[in-house]
């Protein structure tokens, strides 16, 4: 598929700069794949749109303060965005600045990092003088996407209310719409709520730059699906109910697990790295429905949505959302694809 198939024109004013309050008052475009119809709803209406026995699977990763500011020994400023931890002292990171070999982050403690390898563009491997995690709350900042130009008034609004496993450099944004009250209402109706973990990494910031979508190489991200969640999925399937992925990250974990189970039907849990790249033509194995925000043109996430709902229906849905002035991207509105 040519990359132009993932293009669309979005008025800049539809890129949400601040999250809506309360969280669950975002608009929700309901897209029915069977009838090719739409409904315009609000996120807090989700319990009325699902069926008792359905199971929501959300990503419980937590965003770390991955953006760091430091200086070279000669005094030049350096900005670092941590991407993935390789061992207790070593991280992949995006490093801004020319000819950076060493970065000093904290004069008082002597915390610094050396560039031990260079990869594509600004991507590098850093080795820290001491583990960086204990210092992130003090030295780091929440790494908001580059299309958000306003300062976030409350950093917790870039975390889901159920975030608990630290490790992401970007939020699983479909989950930002949930509140504790909404989750309780879902459970009261008999709708299950379970978790997987995927630490969001470099591909959140990396557009598809190849001429064909399939030629793009996706980066690995760490994920986990527990035996408890696997048992809930299996019980949901036996009851003839739906497994609903909350966001593309949850969908990627579910489909990674489903793919692994095709090779080993006795596999229960899954823990490790996934390089699964879902593009149109992929055969979905686990997710029956999907909650997601609106994604950037030429992104791997848009390719995944095109795979799930068909490229034609996706284009119709995005055109309708633009026409109806939905808010786009991380702090924007949501879709429920049934």
Residue 202 has what pLDDT?
73
Distance in angstroms (rounded) separating the CA atoms of residues 195 and 61: 9
Domain residues of the chain, as ranges? Answer: 3-63+151-337, 67-139
Phi, psi dihedral angles at 207 (to 5 degrees): -75, 165
Collapsing DSSP to helix, strand or coil, 139 comes out as: helix
Specify the residue for token string 């095709």.
Answer: 262
Residue 200 has what pLDDT?
94
Residue 218 has what pLDDT?
87
- Topology given in CATH for the domain delimited by 67-139: Thrombin, subunit H (2.40.10)
Distance in angstroms (rounded) separating the CA atoms of residues 6 and 21: 31
Please, which residues bridge with residue 54 across strands?
none
Domain 3-63+151-337 has CATH 3.30.465.10: no
> How many C-beta atoms surround the C-beta of residue 183 within 10 A?
19
Which burial class, exposed, middle or buried, applies to 108 when counting CB atoms under 10 A from its CB (0-12, 13-18, 19+)?
exposed
Residue 193 has what pLDDT?
97
Residue 204 has what pLDDT?
65
Residue 119 has what pLDDT?
81
- What element of type H or E holds 106? strand 102-106
- pLDDT digits (tens), the chain, 338 positions: 999 999 999 999 999 999 999 999 999 999 999 999 999 999 999 999 999 999 999 999 999 999 999 999 998 999 999 998 999 999 999 998 778 999 999 998 999 999 999 887 788 999 999 999 999 999 999 888 889 999 888 889 999 999 999 999 999 999 999 999 999 999 999 999 999 999 998 766 678 989 999 999 888 899 999 999 999 999 999 999 999 999 999 999 999 999 999 999 999 999 999 999 999 999 999 999 999 999 999 999 999 999 999 999 999 999 999 999 999 999 999 999 99
Residue 120 has what pLDDT?
75
Distance in angstroms (rounded) separating the CA atoms of residues 166 and 181: 23
C-alpha distances (whole Å) from 7 to each of 161, 175, 279, 299, 318 are 33, 25, 15, 9, 11
Distance in angstroms (rounded) separating the CA atoms of residues 135 and 102: 18
- Cα of first residue to Cα of last residue in the chain, in angstroms, is 24
> Cis before residue 226, ω within 30 degrees of 0?
no
Instruction: Report the interhelical angle of 311-323 vs 300-309 (nearest 10°).
Output: 110
């Amino acid at each position: 598929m040519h990359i132009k198939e993932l293009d669309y024109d979005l008025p800049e004013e539809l890129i949400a700069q601040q999250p809506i309050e309360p969280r669950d008052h975002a608009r929700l475009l309901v897209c029915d794949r069977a009838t090719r119809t739409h409904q315009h709803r609000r996120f807090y209406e989700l319990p009325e749109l699902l069926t008792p026995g359905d199971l929501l699977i959300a990503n419980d990763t937590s965003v770390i303060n991955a953006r760091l500011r430091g200086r070279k020994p000669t005094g030049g400023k350096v900005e670092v965005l941590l991407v993935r931890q390789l061992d207790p002292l070593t991280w992949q990171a995006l490093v801004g600045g020319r000819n950076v070999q060493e970065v000093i982050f904290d004069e008082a403690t002597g915390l610094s990092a050396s560039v031990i390898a260079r990869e594509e563009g600004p991507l590098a491997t850093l080795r820290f003088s001491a583990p960086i995690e204990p210092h992130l709350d003090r030295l780091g900042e929440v790494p908001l996407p580059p299309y958000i130009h306003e300062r976030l008034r409350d950093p917790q609004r870039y975390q889901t209310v159920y975030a608990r496993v630290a490790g992401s450099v970007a939020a699983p944004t479909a989950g930002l719409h949930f509140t504790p009250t909404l989750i309780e209402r879902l459970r009261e109706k008999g709708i299950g709520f379970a978790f997987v973990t995927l630490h969001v990494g470099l591909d959140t910031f990396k557009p598809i730059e190849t001429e064909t979508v399939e030629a793009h190489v996706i980066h690995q991200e760490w994920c986990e699906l527990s035996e408890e969640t696997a048992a809930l999925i299996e019980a949901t399937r036996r009851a003839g109910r739906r497994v609903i992925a909350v966001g593309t990250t949850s969908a990627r974990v579910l489909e990674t697990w489903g793919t692994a189970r095709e090779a080993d039907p006795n596999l229960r849990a899954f823990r490790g790295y996934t390089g699964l790249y879902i593009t149109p033509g992929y055969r979905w194995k686990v997710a029956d429905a999907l909650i997601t925000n609106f994604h950037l043109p030429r992104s791997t996430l848009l390719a995944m949505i095109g795979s799930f709902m068909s490229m034609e229906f996706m284009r119709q849905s995005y055109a309708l959302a633009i026409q109806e002035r939905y808010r786009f991207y991380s702090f924007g509105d949501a879709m429920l694809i049934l």
